[in-house]
Amino acid sequence: MDSTRAGDGYIVAVDQSTQATKALLFDARGAPKHRVTRPHAQIYPGAGLVEHDPLEILANVESAISELVERGGAPASSIAALSITNQRETVMAWDSETGEPVCNALVWQDSRGAALCERLVAEGLGPKVKASTGLKLDPYFSASKLAWIVRESEAASSALAAGRLMAGTVDSWLVWNLTGREVFATDYSNASRTMLFDVHRLRWDGELLRAFGLEGVRLPEVRCSDADFGVARLPGPGISLPIAGVMGDSHAALFGHCGWKAGDAKATYGTGTSLMSNIGDAPVDPGEGVVLSLAWGRGGKAEYVLEGNIHSSAYTMRWLKDNLGMFSDYAEAESLAVQAGGNGGVYLVPAFSGLGAPHWVHGIGGIITGLSHGSDRRHVVRAGLEAIAFQVRDLVAEMNSRSRAPLAQLHVDGGATRNAFLMQFQADVLGIPVAVSAIEELSALGAAYMGGLARGFWSSPGEVASLQPEARKYLPAMAEPERDRLVAGWKSAVDQAVSRKI
């Protein structure tokens, strides 16, 4: 491909996340110059079930990019690449002939694959899944959701019988459509989260496809994250952009932190939270609490990470706000937490879809425990924020147990990093500094970095690293006995939630 040199143009990055699609325009300094956001509907057919409309997401992506190009002051000819980062385990399936989805996308939070996973665990498939994919056999990942689609959707069954059923993560749906159905591909990072991809041999695992009843489903070609993913042709006059830099959102955030060497770690606070630690170009045994994933593929070489995922972070606060009416905006939530002066013994365990890593417990619900006559909404709101930090601490402790070098610092990003109370509490319960990126949209930035390096927009990782603004650091200030007391209370609350498993 011809490239646009840094200083002469821009990178467009699309972050297709759980709640919305964001399109951002980055200049040669890695600074965001313009942003367009398109929210999409959250569909809840029943308890533990979460869906998105694939056509709505596609329309939002196309319109967001078009508006960004038209209003961002950057003609299409000045844009070196369109980079894509996305919510990961969410799975979509569609008919290759009609291009129509066979059903709504099943979102990563969706638990309808739980029964199948439990059966396969009972049949002894768990060790095979872990050995091949690095993952725990769990409904969080894509495979059991796709199996449900194949089994329950008549449109999927018909398309499969005719050899026309295509399926993949959100990135593959977008690339296929944006390129006029010419490119059906995903990248290593997204493929590694499906529970169907052999992360050692770097190929789809036929044995697992058979175990999940997915023989005959057309899966995307898996490419390096910096590969050529074709040319996007957008509605509008002359908008044609080369696609380069395709990555799952958490992986892109690590790349955006310049987390390119073993030992680098980050946490992305979104609807859920992903904690990820770079372990280099050789896989390790992740144990039972966390999982092994592919970080990305770059320059023809794959790299690996240890990762743990928390189901409910920002979602917890949104639930307190929208469902319980505890506060009107997130600034008020921070103020209430500070006013409380302490948690008053109140803990909130946000197990709305069970608990993810390192607990891996399903079939339970969220609980609020420790309420007393002196408790009020301030304590409950504070407990919601503290729950985010406690869950991250659980993951850091698990990763440290698998690593020869415990984390000395945690890089963080995402909307929740604006909450100073949460960030200070996070540093306090971890006992290590927390470095908040000066740029909030790290997933989009990381995808832009990957795409820009692929297209020669930036000459080297060293040049990219020189662009990083200084992070704000929160230093731990809590005495160890107080930290131990709070953590013990959290562990007791988690034990109470787990004991309620149906």
pLDDT per position as a tens digit, 232-251: 998 766 789 999 999 999 89
Each residue of 122-142: pLDDT tens digit?
999 999 999 999 999 999 899
| DSSP letter (8 states) at residue 139 | T
Asked whether the predicted pLDDT for residue 271 surpasses 50, the reply is yes
Asked whether the predicted pLDDT for residue 1 surpasses 60, the reply is no
Q: Are 88 and 108 in contact (CB under 8 A)?
A: yes
Q: What confidence score (pLDDT) does residue 75 get?
A: 86
CA 495 vs. chain centroid, Å, equals 27
Asked whether the predicted pLDDT for residue 6 surpasses 80, the reply is no
Task: Find, among 368, 377, 325, the residue nearest to 347 by Cα.
Answer: 368
Q: What confidence score (pLDDT) does residue 470 get?
A: 78
Return the SS3 of 218: strand
Each residue of 464-476: pLDDT tens digit?
999 988 789 999 9
What integer is the mean pLDDT of 260-271?
Answer: 87
Q: Cα-atom radius of gyration of the chain, to the nearest Å?
A: 22
Q: What confidence score (pLDDT) does residue 336 get?
A: 97
Say which residue, 501 or 282, is predicted with more confidence.
Answer: 282
Asked whether the predicted pLDDT for residue 30 surpasses 80, the reply is yes
Q: What confidence score (pLDDT) does residue 502 get?
A: 59
Q: Which contiguous run of DSSP H or E holds residue 309?
A: strand 301-310
Q: Are 190 and 252 in contact (CB under 8 A)?
A: no
Task: Find, among 194, 140, 190, 150, the residue nearest to 353 by Cα.
Answer: 140
Q: Which residues contact 288 (CB under 8 A, 6 or more apart)?
A: 136, 358, 360
Three-state secondary structure of 40-107: CCCECCCCCCCEECHHHHHHHHHHHHHHHHHHCCCCHHHEEEEEEEECCCCEEEEECCCCCECCCEEC
Which amino acid would we find at residue 302?
A: A
Asked whether the predicted pLDDT for residue 359 surpasses 80, the reply is yes
Q: What confidence score (pLDDT) does residue 285 get?
A: 87
Q: What confidence score (pLDDT) does residue 237 get?
A: 64
Q: What confidence score (pLDDT) does residue 166 get?
A: 98
Q: Are 243 and 65 in contact (CB under 8 A)?
A: no
Asked whether the predicted pLDDT for residue 4 surpasses 70, the reply is no
What is the distance between the alpha carbons of residues 466 and 97, in angstroms, rounded to a whole number? 47
Q: What confidence score (pLDDT) does residue 501 get?
A: 73
Q: Which residues contact 47 (CB under 8 A, 6 or more apart)?
A: none
Q: What confidence score (pLDDT) does residue 402 get?
A: 81
- pTM, two decimals, is 0.84
Q: What confidence score (pLDDT) does residue 2 get?
A: 44
CA distances from 8 to 26, 78, 450, 458 (A): 12, 7, 18, 11
What is the distance between the alpha carbons of residues 443 and 154, in angstroms, rounded to a whole number? 36
Q: What confidence score (pLDDT) does residue 452 get?
A: 97
What is the distance between the alpha carbons of residues 226 and 83, in angstroms, rounded to a whole number? 9
Q: What confidence score (pLDDT) does residue 76 get?
A: 86
What integer is the mean pLDDT of 138-161?
Answer: 96
The residue ranges of DSSP E strands in 134-282, in sequence order, are 165-169, 185-187, 197-198, 203-204, 221-223, 231-233, 240-248, 265-269, 273-280
Return the SS3 of 186: strand
Question: What confidence tier does 100 reach under pLDDT thresholds 50, 70, 90?
Answer: very high
Asked whether the predicted pLDDT for residue 259 surpasses 90, the reply is no
Each residue of 277-302: pLDDT tens digit?
888 898 988 888 899 999 999 999 99
Average predicted confidence (pLDDT) for the chain:
93
Question: Of the given ranges (116-120, 233-237, 477-481), which has the lowest mean pLDDT?
Answer: 233-237
Question: What confidence tier does 391 reach under pLDDT thresholds 50, 70, 90?
Answer: very high
